[in-house]
Amino acid sequence: MAFLFNSDAERAKVFANAFAHALPHQRFLTPAEAFDPADVRYLLTWTVPDDIERYANLEVLFSIGAGVDQIEPASLPPNIKLVRMVEDGIVRMMQEYVTLAVLALHRDLPGYLSQQAGGVWGVRPVRQAPDCQVSVLGLGVLATAVLDRLEPFGFIRQGWSRSARDIAGVNCFNGPEQLTQLLAQTDILVCLLPLTSETRGILNVELFSRLPRGAGLVHVGRGPQLDHDALIGALDSGQLAGAVIDVTDPEPLPADHELWRHPKVIVTPHIASVTQPQTAARAVIDNIGRHEAGLAPLGLVDRDRGY
Ligand code: NDP
Ligand code: OXD
């Protein structure tokens, strides 16, 4: 039985090397080789292959990314475990990016960049960190790591999840009823939610109106969670003071899209966090070990919940 690596050639080299050391008896395949799909027990991929029904003995599909919204649930037979990527490299990069973005909004970097473009030397007001409420939508692997990394700055840290959570030093909210309460006490909102039918379009006119005037937005979840027109309206009216946007719909963001040139927006091309081959190979190898020992892999997706 074999492991099929369906991603780029550069990462394949790193994975092949890690597998040769850690799982020497595991056949390691890439799509460039001739193989019988019925031999594949594990598949690492971004999307489900069109001929998935030929993979008759597939047990686990590993997503190359932390998100699994690109995988159409109906396209994957229910007996196959779907596992999202949980690995140290992704976590570290997300911690860096969100810290960068929160600090950029906290210290009004978009405002200073606009001033720089106009040659304006001017001091802008700043709220002290212990008076600044940073709220993360999502309290999963990435969000909790981000909140942890923000701790030394002294922000008031808060988060929102579906189920009730208890995290030391973080004000935790859950469920639709408590979202309004959280938003009312948020200065910088970070979206780190998976894309599901419940979170699609969640960053909309109504949500922005529930934030205090002048709040900031960091969006690192998925593009379809954000209503672009609502964002631009909220920025233009002053309801939002600034935004750092890493994910858009569509991607790439069209070159003529208003967001690229909006003076209160910093756009990056979905690079907040990227699967790192060394650490990802380790995580997948560990998960194969867990699966073969009869344990649930880390990052096992609940197909009903969608994440
Ligand atoms: P997890 O599955 O670990 O966490 C998801 C969190 O979202 C959980 O806390 C969950 O609540 C919460 N959640 C889900 N649905 C709802 C809802 N309807 N209402 C309230 N809370 C909800 O995911 P990760 O932290 O690993 O990743 C999060 C997302 O980040 C990914 O799905 C992906 O879209 C995005 N991402 C973006 C990257 C980028 O470069 N921009 C890179 C990597 C990931 P509960 O705890 O109750 O289950
Ligand atoms: C991911 C991503 O889901 O890169 O890993 O967005």
- The DSSP string of the chain is -EEEE-S-HHHHHHHHHHHHHH-TTSEEE-TTS---GGGEEEEEESS--TTGGG-TT--EEEESSS--TTS-GGGS-TTSEEE----HHHHHHHHHHHHHHHHHHHTTHHHHHHHHHTT---------GGG-EEEEE--SHHHHHHHHHHGGGT-EEEEEESS---BTTEEEEEHHHHHHHHHHT-SEEEE-PPP-TTTTT-BSHHHHHHSPTTEEEEE-S-GGGB-HHHHHHHHHHTSEEEEEE---SSSSPPTT-HHHH-TTEEE--S-S----HHHHHHHHHHHHHHHHTTPPPTTB--TTTT-
- pLDDT by residue for the chain (307 residues), tens only, comes to 999 999 999 999 999 999 999 999 999 999 999 999 999 999 999 999 999 999 999 999 999 999 999 998 889 999 999 999 999 999 999 999 999 999 999 999 999 999 999 999 999 999 999 999 999 999 999 999 999 999 999 999 999 999 999 999 999 999 999 999 999 999 999 999 999 999 999 999 999 999 999 999 999 999 999 999 999 999 999 999 999 999 999 999 999 999 999 999 999 999 999 999 999 999 999 999 999 999 999 999 999 999 9
What domains appear along the chain, each with residue ranges and CATH number? 2-87+275-292 (3.40.50.720), 89-267 (3.40.50.720)
How far is the centre of ligand 2, averaged over its atoms, from the C-alpha of 85 (Å)?
8
- Long-range contacts made by residues 168-175, C-beta under 8 angstroms, separation at least 24? 170/139, 172/139
How far is the centre of ligand 1, averaged over its atoms, from the C-alpha of 10 (Å)?
28
How far is the centre of ligand 1, averaged over its atoms, from the C-alpha of 192 (Å)?
5
Token pair, residue 38, equals 């019925």
- Long-range contacts made by residues 111-117, C-beta under 8 angstroms, separation at least 24? 111/241, 111/242, 111/264, 113/263, 113/266, 114/263, 114/264, 117/263
The residue contributing the CA closest to ligand 1 atom 35 is 221
Is 247 near ligand 1, meaning CB less than 6 Å away? yes
Q: Which of 7, 46, 64, 275 has the most ligand 2 atoms within 8 A of CB, as the residue to mutate? A: 275
Quick one: which ligand is closest to 275's CA?
A: 2
CB atoms within 10 A of CB 28: 19
Which of these is catalytic: 106, 222, 262, 291? Answer: 222
Which of these is catalytic: 270, 282, 290, 303? Answer: 270
**Which residues face 82 on adjacent strands?**
61
Is 65 near ligand 2, meaning CB less than 6 Å away? yes
Is 67 near ligand 2, meaning CB less than 6 Å away? yes
pLDDT of residue 225: 99
pLDDT of residue 74: 87
Is 66 near ligand 2, meaning CB less than 6 Å away? yes
C-alpha 225, offset from chain centre: 12
**Residue 25 known to be catalytic:** no
**Residue 270 known to be catalytic:** yes
Using DSSP bridges, classify how beta strands 265-267 and 240-245 pair: parallel, antiparallel or unpaired.
parallel
Structural contact between residues 243 and 264, judged by C-beta atoms closer than 8 angstroms:
yes
Quick one: which ligand is closest to 195's CA?
A: 1
